[in-house]
Amino acid sequence: MKNRTHYFGLSILSVLILAIASMKVQKQQRRFILPLFLAYTGMNYIFEYFILIIGNSYRYYPKLLRNSYFDNVFGSTISQLFVIPTSGVVIALFRLSYKWILCCAAVLLVIEQLFIKRGLFKHHWWKGYYTPVLVQFFYGFAKLWRYLLVDKKTKVVRLITVGLAIFSYYATITSLHVSLLKTCLVNTQLFQNRYRDHFIMATIYCGISAFIFFMLIRLKSRVVTVCTVLTLQGFEQFLIKKNLLIVSNQLLFVIVSLSTKVSSLWVGIYISQLLTNGQSKKNLKVNIEN
């Protein structure tokens, strides 16, 4: 069985679990599924940035891409985009007990060990027991995040959730078009491995861009939004001229880059609406009754 089959199998299983969960969860809580999923993905991306990209702790071998480093990051994306966030959403929304958290952590440990034995995954300095310990911590934090977002309706948590959603979407699409379409490559030459150099710097850029998009959504000004997006596009052209950003096809890069920015803004707006519409309807009902 090819490596990619195992990775795709996990992805499909995660999507199915998320779909079933969306049908089983209480109707009034369905609107929180996507925001929580993207927020948990963003959290895991940040964790993976320091542990995998910076720390070089382990390596994925999905064998989907010819470039070994891109292949490694693609394998990470499957894990951090599907498996961990999906299980986190299920545990959080259904308020599963510690027994279920322990069970999920054990299952993930077994999967990891099977992947290692089959050459699908490899530890560098990472220890096997790190995974179940940190996964349990994440699940506990995921439950706390859901409580603050859904039950307590904490404004700060809601705003951070929107920001994380934008970041996870923007980082995912950027990683995919770079890996699959070879659109661009950051060329700061700060690190020996040029591909590692790309992902270290590109992730920082994605984080900064996500914050800018978040502020634009809060500002609610079309003129400022258009000007800011065009400024970012101009900044990328400046990087290209300085050879700090290498592109394979100028037109393709501009189209993909602009589309990613616009769609990221749309995702942020949509997530923000999902999180606020329920409160707006509730406030409207109270006003009518009064």
194 CB-near residues (< 8 Å, 6+ apart): 185, 187
Least confident of 31-40, 101-110, 187-196, 246-255: 187-196
Provide the pLDDT for residue 191.
87
Provide the pLDDT for residue 288.
32
In angstroms, the CA 229 to CA 262 distance is: 8
Label residue 285 by pLDDT band (50, 70, 90): very low
Q: Across-strand partners of 121?
A: 60
- 73-100: pLDDT as tens digits: 999 988 888 899 999 999 999 999 999 9
- 199-212: pLDDT as tens digits: 999 999 999 999 99
Provide the pLDDT for residue 78.
82
Neighbours of 146 (CB within 10 A): 24
Stretch (H or E) spanning 167: helix 155-181
Q: Is 94 exposed, middle or buried (0-12, 13-18, 19+ CB in 10 A)?
A: middle
Label residue 1 by pLDDT band (50, 70, 90): low
Contact between 261 and 213 under an 8 Å Cβ cutoff? The reply is yes
Q: Find the mean pLDDT for residues 92-120.
A: 95
Q: How many CA atoms lie less than 13 Å away from 167 in the CB half-sphere? A: 25
Label residue 266 by pLDDT band (50, 70, 90): very high
In angstroms, the CA 216 to CA 78 distance is: 30
pTM of the model: 0.93
Provide the pLDDT for residue 45.
96
Share of the chain above pLDDT 70, in %: 95
**Sequence spans of domains, the chain:** 1-152, 169-290
Q: Find the mean pLDDT for residues 42-58.
A: 95
pLDDT at 287 over 50: no
Give, in order, the Cα–Cα distances in Å from 273 to each of 34, 265, 267, 283: 12, 12, 10, 15
Least confident of 5-19, 90-104, 217-231, 274-288: 274-288
Residue with tokens 């749309």: 266
